[in-house]
Amino acid sequence: MKKLLFSSLLALLAVTGQLTAAAADQAVGTWNLNVAKSKYSPGPVPKAMTRTYTEKGDEMSLTVKGTAADGSAIAQQSTFKYDGKDYPFSGAAHWDALAVKRVNGTTVKSTLKKDGKVVGHSTRSISAHGKVMTLTTKYTDASGAKHDDVAVWDKQ
């Protein structure tokens, strides 16, 4: 009886561990911009960018580093929750806050804000195999120009 109880307990712990691992955010990790597959309208596409997502409890941290098309450095950062509330976003020229909500296990939607005003929206989707992330962002900059960017990222 003790052996059966012990075996059942071990099996339950193994399943629980697998479920916990499966529930982890698929965005966690490092992603490199696939410049050839990305489209920035009106452009131009950055020369290189890396996005790193880290998860701690119910918070997600995002760090973006890279090189813009003109050779200048890109450095952005935010820590947020998927609760739809506003969180600061530093380093972006066109927004200074974002509010993020989870749609499902592979997709999240964000509202981009500048000085409290909505300037755009973004959708982040991760492929079924977890190796490709597509970030579709539509926003209006301070001069009124509309941007429609589709950035494709490869997981490292």
Q: What is the pLDDT along the chain (156 residues), one digit of tens a residue?
A: 555 444 544 444 444 444 444 458 999 999 999 999 999 999 899 999 999 999 999 999 999 999 999 999 999 999 999 999 999 999 999 999 999 999 999 999 999 999 999 999 999 999 999 999 999 999 999 999 999 999 999 999
Whole-number pLDDT of residue 2: 56
What is the C-alpha separation between 79 and 88, in angstroms, rounded? 8
Domains of the chain, with CATH numbers? Answer: 26-155 (2.40.128.20)
**pTM of the predicted model, to two decimals?**
0.83
Q: Are 102 and 123 in contact (CB under 8 A)?
A: no
